[in-house]
Amino acid sequence: MQVLSQNLQAIPEQDSYDLVVIGAGGAGMSAALYAAIDGAKVLLVESTEHVGGTTAWSAGTTWVPGSHHAAKVNPQDNLAEAKRYLDNAIGERSDPALRQAFLDHGKAAVEQIEAHSELRYRPYPKHPDYISDLGGSTLSGRALEPLPFDGRLLGDLFPLIRPPIPEFTVLGGMMVDRTDINHLLAMTKSLASFKHSARIILRHLKDRLSHSRGTRLVMGNALTARLLYSLSKHDKVTLALNTTVEHIHQNAQVGQTGQAVDRVTLLQNGQRRTVKVRGGVVLASGGFNRNPELRARLLPGIPLDWCPAAPGHTGQAHELAASLGAHYGQGALSNSFWAPVSRRQRPDGSTAVFPHFVMDRAKPGFLTVNQAGERFLNESTSYHLFGLGMQAAHQQSPSIPAYLVCDSAALQRYGVGMVRPGASAGLLKTFLDDGYLTQGATLDELAARLGINAQGLKSSVEKINAYARTGIDPDFGRGSTAYSQNIGDASAGGKNPNLGPLRQGPYYAVKLYPGDIGACTGFATDASARVLGADQQPVAGLYAVGNDQHSIMGGVYTAPGITIGPGLVFAYIATRDALARARA
């Protein structure tokens, strides 16, 4: 693989490629790798200095029903049940034909990339679909996780991996996944946990002698690294970093009516190159979310600084595609996927935006209230529905920001947001001093410091304490589904793994905002990932995958990894179609 960070002139003018991919996130790298596996000449264009996009910051979970891994943990599952679940959850919010294409090709997509690259998956023993009370849902087998990867194998390419969010690491850059976290929390209670923890800590300390961060990569960093390492083995791949596509050109199709994409003009540090494209251009730039105009239209009232996603998805490629007749899909539940986030200014002046996925809000000893001090949603619902719930509730009563409240016992056991479990008094003081964390010796004092209704807060705590005793939340059904129970804590000993009393002062809270974590609305495509024009016919030679493609989930967050999984599968589908064009 040839890497061009500052020397675009290394590409000859009018050089020719079988496939050009715009965006080196998970979907884009997958498309480039599928093409490379097939022997194609590939140009992968990335606007930032890193590869991985938001995938590198994610858990890396890849939702693909029916893979050969599924039978290891759930041999009873099948594609008919997966289809039933998607139909029940999504209905007419997306094109059923695209959902069927995803299901039909998922198994082959996973098998091919594992057989011909360094990408390796494992099924997690229990990883439920998010709407687990719907028919067709399952508790395991569909969600695949990338195996950890030794970043040292990348050599000089290691710095190209987008580093993880610092607040998601420990000990100055050591990545941890859910298995590691469980072992670290139990290292004084279990010999197996002590051995696991000691092994990864010693490895990290050794890494820091020669690297700026740990080289044991997990989750999205592992997925990104495995893709990059695999691409590096193919000498017909060129990776152009710090580069944008300035123009996508069309020309008349020989012997056909209409025009086809046949060239792109690249821009890097003032240098331009126009190259030919034989098979097609794949849009994989990460979505519209950081484009000011598109954001104002599609996500009104949601400031950009609430977005926790990686910086590359500027929507610049969307403007190019729109000029060719591409248009956005319609009918989604929401234009974006969501998560509640908390915000804190770092010492260097940047702002950390922390998504509250599973580690705190659904655990015993927590509740979420609005500015009236009242609960307004099920804290154990999926992060997407939580974010949507905040916005819906705000229409009736001020709920943005909302307040995630816990007592001192819950804080010590689970942490809250960027405050990790077992935080010392000195560390807590740091979070209190900068305003990220608010403390009150009593609920009255906490409410006063937050500026919310004290009586409402006390009443909400009294109710949740009563619900903890019975194990039933009659208001919002917290802990009533397999999904919510999975992100609770059965070891806490309560009647409901998601419910526990708040009774040990002092009390704490962080402010929550609805943060957009990825686009749902993208370009309308057919089942081959070909972008559709105004006449609903394909724009010849133009494809969209990942968050540039209109989500087949229709804005419904059905399961873990439902952006990365379809991104992988439609990368496989698009590449096959594009390379067939190149060879026609």
Rounded Cα–Cα distance for residues 259 and 539 (Å): 8
Predicted pLDDT at 253: 63
Question: Residue 257 — very low, low, confident or very high, per pLDDT cuts 50/70/90?
Answer: low
Amino acid type, 277:
V
d(CA 358, CA 87): 26
Per DSSP, the three-state class of 302 is: coil
Phi, psi angles (nearest 5°) of residue 303: -60, 150
Domains located in the chain, CATH noted: 338-516 (3.90.700.10)
What is the spatial distance between Cα 553 and Cα 96, in angstroms, rounded to a whole number? 10
pLDDT value of position 369: 98
Question: pLDDT tens digit string along 175-199?
Answer: 888 788 888 888 888 899 899 889 9
How much is the average pLDDT of 96-104? 98
CA distance 136 to 245: 42
Q: Are 495 and 471 in contact (CB under 8 A)?
A: yes
- Residue pair 523/504 in contact (Cβ under 8 Å)? The answer is no
Give mean pLDDT, residues 251-259. 66
Share of the chain above pLDDT 90, in %: 89
* Distance separating alpha carbons of residues 289 and 53, to the nearest angstrom: 13
pLDDT at 209 over 90: no
For residue 67, pLDDT beyond 60: yes
| Virtual torsion, Cα 204, 210, 214, 215, nearest 10 deg | -110
Please state the pTM of the whole predicted model. 0.96
Which tens digit of pLDDT belongs to each residue from 475-507? 999 999 999 999 999 999 999 999 999 999 999
Pairing status of strand 244-252 against strand 366-369 = unpaired
The overall average pLDDT reported for the chain is 96
The angle that helices 219-231 and 26-37 make with each other, rounded to 10 degrees, is: 30
Backbone phi and psi for residue 569, each to the nearest 5 degrees, phi listed first: -70, -45
Tell me, rounded to whole angstroms, the distance of Cα 442 from its chain centroid.
Answer: 37
pLDDT at 268 exceeding the cut of 70? yes
Q: Which two tokens stand for residue 349?
A: 């002046």
The pair of three-digit structure tokens given for residue 332, joined into one six-digit string: 């989604």
Question: Which pLDDT value is given to residue 139?
Answer: 97
d(CA 161, CA 175): 13
Calculate the CA 53 to chain-centre distance.
10
Position 212 confidence tier, pLDDT thresholds 50, 70, 90: confident
Can you give the C-alpha Rg of the chain in angstroms? 24
Task: Give the pLDDT mean for 82-105.
Answer: 98
Confidence of residue 207 (pLDDT cuts 50, 70, 90): confident
DSSP-H helix ranges across 365-407: 383-394
Q: How confident is the model at residue 254 (pLDDT cuts 50, 70, 90)?
A: low
- Which among 388, 381, 390 has a CA at the least distance from the CA of 361? 381
Residue 256: pLDDT over 60: no
Residues 6+ apart with CB under 8 A from 76: none
Is residue 561's pLDDT more than 90? yes
The residue-averaged pLDDT of 358-362 equals 95
User: CA angle, 430 as apex, 424 and 431 as ends, to 5°?
Assistant: 95
Residue written as token pair 């560390």: 427
Structure tokens at 554: 């229709």
Q: Is residue 158 predicted with pLDDT exceeding 70?
A: yes
Confidence (pLDDT) at 517: 97
Residues 6+ apart with CB under 8 A from 484: 362, 378, 380, 381, 478, 498
Q: Which residues contact 468 (CB under 8 A, 6 or more apart)?
A: 364, 494, 495, 496, 499, 500, 501
